Amino acid sequence: MNESLFVDLLAAGLLYGTPLVLAGLGELLAERSGVMNLGVEAMMLMGAVTAFWFVQSFDGPAWLALLLAILVAAAVGTAMATVYAFVVVTLRANQVVSGLALLILGGAAGLSSYLAAVGSLSGPAARFKLPTYDVLGLSDVPVIGPLIFGQNALVYVSWLLVALVAFYLYRTQTGLHLQAVGEDPRSADAMGISVSRFRYGHTMVGGALAGVAGAYYTLELQPAWIDGITAGAGWIAIALVITAFWRPGLLLAGAYLFGIVTSLGFTLQARGVDLPPEIFTSLPYVLTIVAVVLVSSGWSRLRLRAPAALGEPYAREEA
């Protein structure tokens, strides 16, 4: 019984943690360049609605519909991130205000809900869902089988991305240049590194991953479209980047921990444990608030080792 509950919690952690890994990695890359994107939630919502719309309207094989839906969601996230980068990098607008404005436009103002209504998405279940794979025929192995060898493709992609991002940051010259841009853009510029190019590029990659994370909700987690389907996951992803000290490996562990906490209420309830589910469903958001409050002070920024130029616009001085 205890072992079964343990496996169920780990499985739920993987299920609900995967979109946090994807969105968190994108935010990590953007913040490493010095750009804080508070509009992650909006990009996730727009990725979710476009992916759902695509699989509902595409007339073709399931695998192609799912692949194209993910690519479309990534493209939408990239487009939104490009606009955001133009505002905060080229126009040098305040990143917090601009991110919140993007959030209001894409989420709170109901653009995603409006598009869902126009596309008549409310009500019907998604026609296709991400399939799971029996890797090497080992998915039936007790405990680790379904957790490691019986997942959908985006789970494996997220693991690969964590490894690639870690290698990129710490083992490549470009990754070291990225960290230089986030720490001291003026010195990086003096070395011949294009600050704006790095900030644009990594913000756009972050937007693409946020869009894919949103698509994961409609293609895997939710059987039908509901307004606000991501339920604040973008904010949790931002908090995860902070609490993981901007490190991909810690981000992965934190995302799965948040996934377990998120699923704890209904997992225990399904097993007859009579506890108010609101206690557990509110925990991720409480932790998010704590993390954001911590990073708002200069003392915590030093302790958490945040990029020194995070959130600060850069204007190149002409000789």
Distance separating alpha carbons of residues 55 and 62, to the nearest angstrom: 8
Q: In this predicted model, what pLDDT tens digit does every residue of 106-127 receive, in sequence order?
A: 665 566 666 666 655 655 556 7
* Residue 193 CB-density burial (10 A; 0-12 exposed, 13-18 middle, 19+ buried): middle
Q: Which residues of the chain have pLDDT under 50?
A: 1, 319
- CA angle 171/177/181 to nearest 5° reads 140
**Which 8-state DSSP code applies to residue 311?**
T
Question: What architecture does CATH give domain 2-122+151-304?
Answer: Orthogonal Bundle (1.10)
pTM: 0.91
pLDDT for the residue numbered 242: 87
Alpha-carbon separation of residue 146 from 118, 218, 263 (angstroms): 39, 22, 17
